[in-house]
Structure 1
Amino acid sequence: MKTKFFKIIFIFVFFISLTSSAQQKLDLKVLYVGYHPEKPMPERLGVFTTGSLSNERFKKEYKYRYPAFMDYLNTYFTTVKGVDARDYNSKLSENYDVTIFDHIPNLISEQVVETDENGQRVGYIPAKYIEDDFDHAAIFIGHAAPTMTSPIGSKLDWYCLCLDAHAHNLKADHPIFKGPLNVSLTMQDRPTPSGAFHYASGKNLPETMPMWQVQTEGYLEGKGYRIGQVSSFDGFLDSPETEFISSGVCTKDIDAVAIGRHGNFLLWGFSASPDYMTEESKNVFANAIYYMKQFKGHKIIAKKTERIIFTRQYIDQIKYGLTEEGYQDYLALIREFHDKNEKERNDAILKREKGEKLTDEEEEIANRPSRPRQPDMPWQDYVKRYMGKFFEQFGTDAKAYITYLDENLEYISFEKDKGYYGLAVDENVKLLGVSNRQLELLTTCIELLEKGEKTELANKILKRYTDESFESANEWRNWYNNNKNKLFFTESGGYKWLVNTVPNHEE
């Protein structure tokens, strides 16, 4: 009798262990946007369509990627719907907690290039795929992020389509690595990406660093797999609605954003579909989806309206570039780029000579003409390229230019009509002798208005460095008093003092 009793207990415990080990679904409604394999393949294949998969891989995997995501999402979440990117519109996201964009929907508006009577470009409105007021929580895989979100002001910009398979510099204490699904990060020391050493931020990097494998294949293996996307870290964290979560192996600086959030948008820069994700990253990606549900209804506060805005980090890079070490680094980078292209060409030609089948990309590489390595760019031409309009003022005197930047650092601003990406010294602010990055700038100008002194100058500065347009000193004072605990300065958002409107912001 005892034996029978223990057998029953054993079977019961075994059954419980099986059911408890099964994947429990997270209570979330998820919409996936990709290419449905039952629809015809897009006729035009290119980076925006394939996500940089080689054409052969794209054609081969066209029928697998969408189902792989659907199987994965249905394993982790209670409610899942898939829609072909060509059939997507933003109203579909209203009924879901999180939308995942794996491919790019149709345009909702074409780009507009404005020119003057001489045909010179004076304005530009980018093509848009989602509306300016899009407030649904969304995750963008790879290049979908900059393509879809940059036109409406997101910091998830097109820094580089060059992300491989491993993450580094990740914030291991971030919620997506903590739950609700258990994650055990396996870190292994791997060579530091060589490109990082060419940046000012990479001068003291170690030869190796701990890395986490996100996907089982990366584009650097040379098999035509989809390339991941990174966004610029420069100015990324200068507003309260952003989070840097991880960088990754790429050709850019060590802090390039591979996983990061701006408002209700999350960049998941890694390119893999679930069938190419590691088991660990499957859980992390699911956690990221769950994490983003709380940002439904949020919006971007600091809009990055230009591709490049000069921040202090960027200025540090300029100063480094104008040193002899920076110059030699640049020349070495150009040589490496040329040699890499020539090697790719020679390898493709050798493969063809052996009678092996070439991919479309390899055929293109093999057929391109060989280009001799160009002579090194002379110092004068290099400095002129780095200084832009300031070359007329400083010529090849790089030290004088560096001194100028240092002395005017607190007055540098961004004026897109000034050329050279808008780098300018705000002479109005300099007249007051107050940094544009200090709240004292606003209070000084308001006090001038209250005293009736330098009113034109004070009004000009206040309207330049805020999004407000009050006319009276009393209005400015009330606005400042009501918002002073919520004001923040953003360089990437256009060199402005903005109000933190993040819900639940503590005053």
Structure 2
Amino acid sequence: MRIRWLAVAGMAVLVFASRARSDEPINLRVLYAGDPKNARTADFRSFLEKHFTKVGLADYLSLGQAETKGYDVVILDWPGLPPRDQAGFRHPALDRNYDRPTILIGGGSLGVGRSQQLKLDDMCICLGDAAHDIVATHEIFRRPHQILIDFEERQTPQHYRSWPNGGRLGETMKVWKIQQRGWSLGNPLDLSYMPGMVSDPCGFTDSPDCEFIASGINMKSPEAVAIGRQGNFLLWGFYSPPTDLTPEGRKCFVNAICYIKKFDGQAPLVRKTSRFSARQLALVLASGFKAVSDREWFMNSQPEPLRKDPEKLAELHRTLREMYRGQFPEELRRLFGDDPEQYIKYYRENLEFLRPGPGSGISFVLDEDVKGLGLSNRKVELLDRCIGMLAKGEQPDRALRILKRYTTEDYADAKDWRTWLETYRDRLYFTDVGGFKFMIAPESMRGATGTATDRPEPDSEDPVVACAEVSPGQVQAGESLDLVVRVRMAPNWHIYAADGTSAPGFPTTLKLTLPKGVEPERGWTYPEPSRGIDGQRIYEGTVEFRRKLRVDREAARGSVVVSCEFGYQACDLRSCRLPTKENLEVKVEITERSDTTPSP
């Protein structure tokens, strides 16, 4: 069965046609760096020259940074895996200041991701022919070509169920075929055609320079990144050259080239400290251990050629099970033994208190300092609490340990810490991948850092995560403050706009409950909604609802709580959840005025 969708503003339609059909080349200068001796280069050259005003060619292996000047977009590609030397896979000579808009195609460019320590890594060279969990309202599906997303139903890969929340997946899933020819997940041992590449989804969006755009049928994760962006780099994980893409796939590739041009000069903010640095990997490990502990499931989930060799399959099962179990800390192995459910329960309950442990693999330990406060180590509220503790002399050693552990600062007194926090509050983001630290985003990204601080991270089980914040967190009586309700949605999920919908979708609602002495100054400022594939006004990605509050001069001094009831309905392409209401709370510290002006 096929379902056709196209996102067109203001229209609720099922079948659409591409609207950008001009034969005029797009005014962009594109440099393609590949293997000059391979027919693949000629394929790309012919395709690019039809669509762009200037096309240059370069050798991927010898490309230098200076050669990219004079071009708007650079495409890095290689037929198959690039050759190796003693340092690893060869790649263009690009330094960490490289900021030209660049597209990485499939696994041929994996050396770039490694040398640049990008989140766009080579998690797996195992991407097939179709995309799924598509952020269908993203610009690369809309401009300059409107893309016809022709969904078809396929069997959900069995191994997807071994990932956290994978058990919730249906028997089939909607996919969009991008390649006409290519490697097949149904016959993974046939390498006559190169597989594409996916990147690790764990921690991928924990910095504001990253976007998940689509996953694709692969041998790892249902959430793996097949199309995504980090800074000036965009991964187009599908390996096929233009002639082997579907017509809509080719148009989408043109759109991707146009889209990445917008990020000229925006080098990545975060570099991966290791391949196993995001805390979600602890849950992945526990869920994987559960899957391999189920012998029947494991046997049935393997490719058919492997199932024909029972002895080899049994040995693989034993090896993988011991490998998974051996990665848990010894203390947990003593407590939980071979019970995977206990590991899963432990990591779910303590996810917000984990930090990197010893060793080079998937290693996380419990931060007892943070757990004792009951606050996530990736929420700004923790910094507020610790600075307050330091100012009051409450467990100052513990407060200072936490502040220095999760920031790059080294202040000694609470006043300096408070000044730093209030200066950068709306530019702070927390990154697991970048070293378990609060980092400061560039001024141009002020207010856009909610992608990282509002944890836990949304996923298919909890697709909407909301939190309330105030700025400043400490306010003098008689002054104003900003309340922000920040909402983050998992890829391919949305909620409905606050100003109502034209269909049964439940609109977003916000209802304040304020303490005595605190009043709203004005109404809510809502984010600009987009149009969903059914024409309804929706929010997706990360959005913020803002309201200005004012503290009365006579308000009681001390800590008060501001509450907001947040109502929403979460939907994806498959289904809608029941409408939900959450009560969000944030503490405000009201202090004496620093002036001596009497109250009027």
TM-score > 0.5 by shorter chain: yes
Counterpart for residue 457 of structure 1: 398
After TM superposition, give the deviation of residue 84 of structure 1 in Å: 0.9
1:150-169 map, 5 Å: 150-169=114-133
Normalising by structure 2, report the TM-score: 0.63
1:74 pairs with 2:16: no
Counterpart for residue 36 of structure 2: 36
Q: Distance in 2 between matches of 1:372 and 1:432?
A: 47
Counterpart for residue 235 of structure 1: 203
Moved more, 424-433 or 393-402: 393-402
Match for residue 486 of structure 1 among 398, 421, 427: 427
Please tell me whether the aligned partners of residues 106 and 236 of structure 2 are also in contact (alpha carbons under 8 angstroms).
yes
Please tell me whether the aligned partners of residues 70 and 80 of structure 1 are also in contact (alpha carbons under 8 angstroms).
yes
After TM superposition, give the deviation of residue 157 of structure 1 in Å: 1.8
How many residue pairs align between the two structures? 421
TM-align CA RMSD? 3.3
Counterpart for residue 315 of structure 2: 374
Counterpart for residue 354 of structure 2: 412
1:132 pairs with 2:99: no
Match for residue 317 of structure 1 among 273, 276, 284: 284
Amino acid at match of 1:31: L
Counterpart for residue 351 of structure 1: none
After TM superposition, give the deviation of residue 470 of structure 1 in Å: 3.4
1:232-381 map, 5 Å: 232-312=200-280, 314-321=281-288, 323=290, 326-329=291-294, 332-333=297-298, 337=302, 340-341=305-306, 371=312, 373-374=314-315, 377=318, 381=322
Provide the identity percentage.
Answer: 32
1:97-112 map, 5 Å: 97-103=72-78, 110=87
Q: Distance in 2 between matches of 1:169 and 1:185?
A: 12
Q: Distance in 2 between matches of 1:431 and 1:218?
A: 52
After TM superposition, give the deviation of residue 333 of structure 1 in Å: 3.2
1:426-465 map, 5 Å: 426-452=367-393, 454-465=395-406
Q: Distance in 1 between matches of 2:316 and 2:44?
A: 49
After TM superposition, give the deviation of residue 425 of structure 1 in Å: 0.9
Alpha carbons of structure 1 residues 240 and 291: separation in structure 2 relative to 1, 3 Å: same
Counterpart for residue 91 of structure 1: 66
After TM superposition, give the deviation of residue 316 of structure 1 in Å: 3.4
After TM superposition, give the deviation of residue 67 of structure 1 in Å: 1.0
Amino acid at match of 1:167: A
Gaps of 5+ in 2: 1-19, 449-600
Match for residue 159 of structure 2 among 190, 195, 198: 195
Match for residue 437 of structure 2 among 473, 496, 499: 496
After TM superposition, give the deviation of residue 401 of structure 1 in Å: 4.4
Counterpart for residue 25 of structure 1: 25
Moved more, 192-201 or 375-384: 375-384
Question: Which is richer in strand?
Answer: 2
Alpha carbons of structure 1 residues 107 and 397: separation in structure 2 relative to 1, 3 Å: closer
After TM superposition, give the deviation of residue 327 of structure 1 in Å: 4.0
Question: Which is richer in helix?
Answer: 1
Q: Distance in 2 between matches of 1:108 and 1:428?
A: 45
After TM superposition, give the deviation of residue 273 of structure 1 in Å: 0.9
Q: Deviations over 1:116-144 (max 9, x none)?
A: xxxxxxxxxx9995312221111100114
Gaps of 5+ in 1: 1-19, 38-61, 112-125, 346-369
Alpha carbons of structure 1 residues 216 and 105: separation in structure 2 relative to 1, 3 Å: closer
Please tell me whether the aligned partners of residues 110 and 127 of structure 1 are also in contact (alpha carbons under 8 angstroms).
no
Amino acid at match of 2:215: S
After TM superposition, give the deviation of residue 75 of structure 1 in Å: 0.9
Amino acid at match of 2:351: L
After TM superposition, give the deviation of residue 31 of structure 1 in Å: 1.1
After TM superposition, give the deviation of residue 331 of structure 1 in Å: 6.3
SS for the counterpart of 2:391 is helix
After TM superposition, give the deviation of residue 252 of structure 1 in Å: 1.6
SS for the counterpart of 1:377 is helix
Please tell me whether the aligned partners of residues 195 and 252 of structure 1 are also in contact (alpha carbons under 8 angstroms).
yes
Normalising by structure 1, report the TM-score: 0.74
Alpha carbons of structure 1 residues 107 and 400: separation in structure 2 relative to 1, 3 Å: closer
Please tell me whether the aligned partners of residues 242 and 260 of structure 1 are also in contact (alpha carbons under 8 angstroms).
yes
